[in-house]
Every structure is written in structure tokens, then in C-alpha cells.
């Protein structure tokens, strides 16, 4: 077995740059393992890395990958991966063979607790080939026991789940605090609702497109839901929370930014890790200083947090939500569906 089927991104651009090919399997380094991929969950980063959508510090329009620099093409995208170890490098013990694993999504030289902050951070599916393939090579010590027997359900945990967990740690959410989760139906948001409510004991208000999602959000642990399509959204959130929002967890970006700052109570905290509706926004600095607000940025998380998240999933406190699966060869359709549809939870590719 020297080849596999995979999608490669061959340059910045549209879906025509996502090409289905037979490619060589790279050889294993001594500390690596070969993982037969069972499931890869889609993320916006898979699409944005193809579109070059990350901008740079100097130009928000510049074509760049997640590290805000060029990507070496061809590159296999996909960073939320679950599978089975089928081959080990010379320094990896045989006993890990056939283990079902989820892949910690990046490598870095950062010290414990600061892995995600390191300048040399390099992501699977961006600086390394990723999960739109039958096999992937990864460091043995970055392969963690899958917390669920269903590997499709395990796949979204490394990126979506870890991102949500870290946002909550960044905000230092305490039991009983009132937390608004924007984009609560999305990949990160559906984890954030559950982790904030079921692990950290927060009272979560889930912001969703309409009230038909109320039952589902309450099953996930939400205290209340508010529909964002309201003409009086600030009033609706203020009423639902009695004006007591301590923290906003946001991945929506521009569309929700001024509303989020308006509904936070004095001294409240806004955490962002994404911007589905727009990356550029306006900030009235008077709101920030007169309300004593904290604005925090957050990306992915630490290995310790990943361990804690896997345990919470194992304990049944957090359950990855799968909207739809596609076979690997339908990756283009899967990306179009993910980009355009109104899913609840994650879209997953099955090689």
C-alpha cells in the first residue's frame, strides 16, 4: 500500500483548486504513526485556507493561510480527524497499533500550557497534510484515545471542541454566570453551549436563527434561547438575561459585535475565536471603557485542556452534534453544503 485517495488543494482559489487524486503515502518518521482515517469533520478553515482567507497584519485582503502566510501547495486539508493507528515509526511502541484515536490538531515547541501560543505553531491540514484522505501521518504523542466508539462523533472534538473549551477557560467562566453563546448552532457554538452549561455550570443563553431550535438547545444544556433575527435583539437578550450577561462567547464576528458589547454587563468579557459573518467591525471605544469590558482573542487550546475535554465527552457531559455525513469523494459537495446550509452541528467526511 503505497498510494491513497485524497483531495489536495493545489493553490488559493475556488472549488476547482480542490482536486481528487491518487497520491503517494509519505514515509513515517521514527516518532510518527500512520492513521487510517475513519472520519474528518469540516471546518471553515478548510475552506478559508483554500480561498486564502486569513489576510495578514498589514492587509486584511491578502491571500494567506491560518498562520497568516503562504501555504505550500499541494496540501491536503482537514484538521478535525479521527481514525485508527495502522502502522508505527521505529521508535513508537507496537502496542498502540489498532488504537482508535483523535488527533491533537497542531505541533509546536511551546511549553506546557502555552503550546497554542508558540510562534512556530503548525497545523494539520495547513502546514501538514490533513484529513481529506484515506490516511494521515501524525506524531504518535499527538494521537489521543478516541473518547467515543463512534469515530464520526469523535472527529469534531480536536478543533471545534478544543476551541470552545479554551474560550471558556479564557473567560474564566464560573458556576452560575450568565453566558451568551453566539452562533450556538454551529460547530464551535454547539460545543460551547454544552461545555459552558454542563461542565462549568453557567446559565447559557443560546443565540440561534429562530425559536424552532429552542428544544434542541435546551437538550444541549441551554437555559434560554434567543432568535437573532429579531428587530429588537438587544432588548430580547437583556430581557432573557435580566441584564446580567457576564460573558459573550463569539464566533460570528461583525454581525453580532455591537449587540454583544451592548448586552454585556459592566466588567463583562467578550471572547472571540472566529468571524463567520465578517472579520472587520466597528468598535466605539467609549463602550469599552465606560463599561470596563474585557476583549479577549482565543485560538484552539492546550493539551491539558484537550485531556479535560476528552474526559468530559467520555463522561457524557458533552456530545458532538453531527448534522450530516458525506463520503470522502463528495468533499466538494460537503464544502458547498457546509458553506451555504443552515446546519446544526458538524458536517463530516467518511473516507
Ligand X SMILES: NC(=O)c1ccc[n+]([C@@H]2O[C@H](COP(=O)([O-])OP(=O)(O)OC[C@H]3O[C@@H](n4cnc5c(N)ncnc54)[C@H](OP(=O)(O)O)[C@@H]3O)[C@@H](O)[C@H]2O)c1
Q: Which helix (H) or strand (E) holds 179?
A: strand 178-181
Q: Which three cell numbers stand for residue 214?
A: 429552542
Nearer to ligand X (CB atom), residue 135 or residue 338: 338
Q: Does 118 bind ligand X (CB under 6 A)?
A: no
Query: Would you call the peptide bond into 273 cis, given omega within 30 degrees of 0 as the criterion?
Result: no
Question: Applying CB under 6 A, does 126 fall inside the site for ligand X?
Answer: no
The stretch near ligand X (CB under 6 A) out of 138-146, 195-203, 259-267, 268-276 is 268-276
Cβ 282 to ligand X, closest distance in Å? 15
Considering only residues 92, 237, 252, 318, which one is a binding residue for ligand X as defined by CB under 6 A? 252
- Please give the Cα distance from 132 to 139 (Å, whole number): 18
Q: Specify the pairing of strand 80-88 against strand 32-41.
A: antiparallel
The smaller minimum CB distance to ligand X, of residues 87 and 324, is found at 324
Residue 288: CA atoms inside 13 Å, Cβ hemisphere, count? 9
Other C-beta atoms closer than 10 Å to the C-beta of 121 total 19
Q: Which helix (H) or strand (E) holds 100?
A: strand 100-103
How crowded is residue 120: how many other Cβ atoms within 10 Å of its Cβ?
10
Q: Does 277 bind ligand X (CB under 6 A)?
A: yes
Residue 163 lies near ligand X (rule: CB under 6 A): yes
Q: Which of residues 300-329 bind ligand X (CB under 6 A)?
A: 300
Distance of closest approach, residue 288 Cβ to ligand X, in angstroms? 21
Q: Using CB under 6 A as the criterion, what x/- string covers residues 66-105 for binding ligand X?
A: ----------------------------------------
With binding defined as CB under 6 A, does residue 209 bind ligand X? yes
Q: Give the nearest distance from C-beta 256 to ligand X in angstroms.
A: 6
Contact pick of 188, 193, 202, 248 for ligand X (by CB under 6 A): 188
CA dihedral 168, 132, 322, 162 (to 10 degrees): -10
Of 8, 40, 44, 152, the one binding ligand X (CB under 6 A) is 44
Q: Which has the closest alpha carbon to 67: 82, 86, 54, 51?
A: 54
Q: Which stretch binds ligand X (CB under 6 A): 16-24, 84-92, 155-163, 239-247?
A: 155-163
Closer residue to ligand X in complex, CB, 34/321: 321
Among 227, 255, 288, 296, binds ligand X (CB under 6 A): 255
Q: What is the DSSP string of 31-89?
A: TEEEEEEEEEE--HHHHHHHHTBT--SS-TTS-B-TTSS---SSB----EEEEEEEEE-
Distance of CA 49 to the CA centre of its chain: 14
Residues that bind ligand X (CB under 6 A): 43-45, 159-160, 163, 183, 185-189, 209, 228, 251-252, 255-256, 273-277, 299-300, 342
Amino acid at each position: 500500500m503505497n498510494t491513497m485517495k485524497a483531495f489536495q488543494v493545489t493553490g488559493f482559489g475556488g472549488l476547482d483548486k480542490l482536486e481528487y487524486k491518487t497520491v503517494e503515502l509519505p514515509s513515517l518518521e521514527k516518532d510518527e504513526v500512520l492513521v487510517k482515517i475513519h472520519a474528518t469533520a469540516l471546518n471553515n478553515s478548510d475552506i478559508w485556507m483554500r480561498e486564502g482567507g486569513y489576510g495578514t497584519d498589514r492587509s486584511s485582503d491578502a491571500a494567506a493561510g491560518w498562520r497568516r502566510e503562504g501555504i505550500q501547495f499541494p496540501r491536503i486539508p482537514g484538521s478535525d480527524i479521527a481514525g485508527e493507528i495502522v502502522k508505527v515509526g521505529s521508535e513508537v511502541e507496537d502496542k498502540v497499533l489498532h488504537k482508535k484515536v483523535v488527533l491533537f490538531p497542531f505541533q509546536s515547541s511551546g511549553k506546557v500550557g502555552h503550546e497554542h501560543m508558540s510562534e512556530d505553531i503548525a497545523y494539520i491540514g495547513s502546514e501538514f497534510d490533513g484529513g481529506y484522505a484515506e490516511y494521515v501521518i501524525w506524531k504518535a504523542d499527538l494521537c489521543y484515545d478516541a473518547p467515543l466508539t463512534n469515530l464520526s462523533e469523535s472527529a469534531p472534538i480536536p478543533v471545534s471542541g478544543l476551541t470552545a473549551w479554551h474560550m471558556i477557560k479564557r473567560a474564566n467562566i464560573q458556576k452560575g454566570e450568565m453566558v451568551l453563546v453566539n452562533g450556538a448552532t454551529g460547530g464551535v457554538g454547539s460545543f460551547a453551549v454544552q461545555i459552558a452549561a454542563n461542565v462549568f455550570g453557567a446559565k447559557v443563553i443560546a443565540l440561534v436563527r429562530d425559536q424552532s431550535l429552542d428544544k434542541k438547545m435546551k437538550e444541549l444544556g441551554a437555559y434560554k434561547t434567543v432568535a437573532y433575527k429579531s428587530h429588537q435583539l438587544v432588548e430580547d437578550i437583556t430581557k432573557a438575561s435580566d441584564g446580567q450577561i457576564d460573558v459573550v462567547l463569539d464566533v460570528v464576528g461583525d454581525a453580532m459585535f455591537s449587540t454583544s458589547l451592548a448586552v454585556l454587563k459592566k466588567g463583562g468579557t467578550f471572547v472571540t475565536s472566529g468571524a463567520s459573518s465578517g472579520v472587520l467591525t466597528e468598535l466605539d471605544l467609549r463602550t469599552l471603557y465606560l463599561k470596563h469590558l474585557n476583549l479577549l482573542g482565543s485560538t484552539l487550546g492546550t493539551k491539558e485542556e484537550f485531556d479535560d475535554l476528552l474526559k468530559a465527552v467520555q463522561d457524557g457531559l458533552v456530545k458532538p452534534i453531527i448534522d450530516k455525513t458525506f463520503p470522502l469523494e463528495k468533499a466538494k459537495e460537503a464544502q458547498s453544503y457546509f458553506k451555504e446550509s443552515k446546519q446544526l452541528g458538524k458536517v463530516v467526511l467518511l473516507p
